[in-house]
Amino acid sequence: MRFIAEDAIPRLLEHLAGGGRTVWAPRVVRDSVNTVLFAPWSAGEPVETGAYTHLSAKAALLPPTERLFGFGYLQAAGEERIELEPEEPEESPVLFGARVCDARALAALDALFFPASGGFNDPGYAGRRSGLTVITLACTTCDSACFCSSFGKGPAETDGSDLILYPVANGFLAEPVTDAGSELVRLDLFQDSRLEKPELAVTARVETAGLREKFIDLFSDIDLWRQVSEKCLSCGFCAYACPACHCFNIFDEMSGDREGERCRSWDSCMFYSYTLETSGHNPRPEIAHRYRNRIGHKFSYFPANRGEILCTGCGRCIRGCPAGVDIREVIRTVQER
Ligand code: SF4
Ligand code: SF4
């Protein structure tokens, strides 16, 4: 194992930012309420290595709002045509301080947006993802909302990480997972160590075996979906906080009559307008219909279509739900039906 001292972390981040790469790290962005979010880091800024972020790290790969391309209507030789101005590909970022549940969610996003993993070719996502470096902070504590032990290896998971840092006295033990991680621990910021890495057991878990089929069996039981979603306000926070939710809206921002930008922004299937059709008909008019879709997409449709469960047990939707909806209770109720 290799060791890096806590006070060497800023120098590691400066090394990672060399060459113009954006380094995303957990930072307090609103001191009054101590909100910790992943945000681009600049030299001299503090990083919160002990805190848990309120939103996931997905913004580093899927920005809340992004420009896809510009367009303009041009007159040439008496004809009108549309000219497109593609967005320049971004340099792949570094994600520092992801948790195991953030890193693991990359497989679900890749399955949809990254051609190298069988997904569609999404130029923005694929450009950022192709050279992404993920440095994960292992958890040594958990709270009452964590249930990552329900999926894969739980807190011992290495999928999605290049390098895992385990907090120990005065610093971190560093375990490389990929070649990129092995290259990093060869830096002279790291030294050899005989310390043992700490282990964490997250005991809270839900049973997901058979959920895919169970959901289909219970799809038409609308009373069940009304019961499990009766507290829900349809605010959409759970989708915005989630590392695996990825639904988006596409819209045009015009600047004048003849040119504009096509943009993409996060969306949530919990919003009434998400499925509202131009005719005024809405196939998911009730919160129960929308919450049923949220559960079905995560645990039934997406696993069937793309092979990944859209939940890593991070607990963010539980901690942040203003109405106290707990997705674990919903899964248990469905499983016991
Ligand atoms: S955060 Fe809670 S209240 Fe808001 S949509 Fe999700 S489950 Fe409903
Ligand atoms: S559904 Fe909730 S617990 Fe699961 S990954 Fe998303 S935010 Fe985390």
Q: How far apart (Å, rounded) are the C-alpha atoms in residues 266 and 223?
A: 30
Rounded Cα gap, residues 48 and 53, in angstroms = 9
Residue 18: helix, strand or coil by DSSP?
Answer: helix
pTM: 0.94
Query: Which residues, in sequence order, are CB contacts of 32 under 8 Å at separation 6+?
Result: none
Spatial strand order of the sheet with 65-76 comes to: 79-86, 65-76, 259-266, 248-254
| pLDDT above 70 (res 143) | yes
Question: Using a 6 Å cutoff on CB, does residue 295 contact ligand 1?
Answer: no
Does the beta carbon of 274 sit less than 6 angstroms from any atom of ligand 1?
A: no
pLDDT of 141 strictly over 90: no
Residue nearest to atom 5 of ligand 2 (CA): 311
Domain count, the chain: 1
Mutational test site, ligand 2, from 62, 151, 312, 331, max ligand atoms within 8 Å of CB = 312
Q: Is the beta carbon of 330 within 6 A of some atom in ligand 1? A: no
pLDDT for the residue 32: 66
List the helix and strand counts (H, then E) for the chain.
11, 12
Mark 295-332 as b/e (b = at least 16 C-beta within 10 Å): bbbbbbbbbeebebbbbbbbbbbbebbeeebbbbebbe
Does pLDDT of 30 surpass 80?
A: no
What is the rounded (10 degree) CA torsion for 60, 64, 68, 71? -150
pLDDT tens-digit profile of 144-162? Answer: 999 999 998 888 899 999 9
d(CA 47, CA 27): 5
What is the reported pLDDT for 31?
A: 63
Out of 200-204, 226-230, 285-289, 293-297, least confident range: 200-204
Residue listed under structure tokens 């120098």: 11
Query: Domain residues for 297?
Result: 2-336
pLDDT (tens digit per residue) in 213-265: 999 999 999 999 999 999 999 999 999 999 999 999 999 999 988 999 999 99
Q: Listing from the earlier edge strand, what are the strands of the sheet with 2-5? A: 35-40, 23-30, 94-98, 133-137, 163-168, 171-176, 2-5, 190-192
Q: Which of these, 84, 54, 90, 89, lies nearest to 69 by C-alpha position?
A: 84
Output the CA 321–ligand 1 centroid distance in Å: 5
The closest residue, in CA terms, to atom 4 on ligand 2 is: 311
Residue whose structure tokens are 């922004």: 265
Q: What is the pLDDT of residue 219?
A: 97
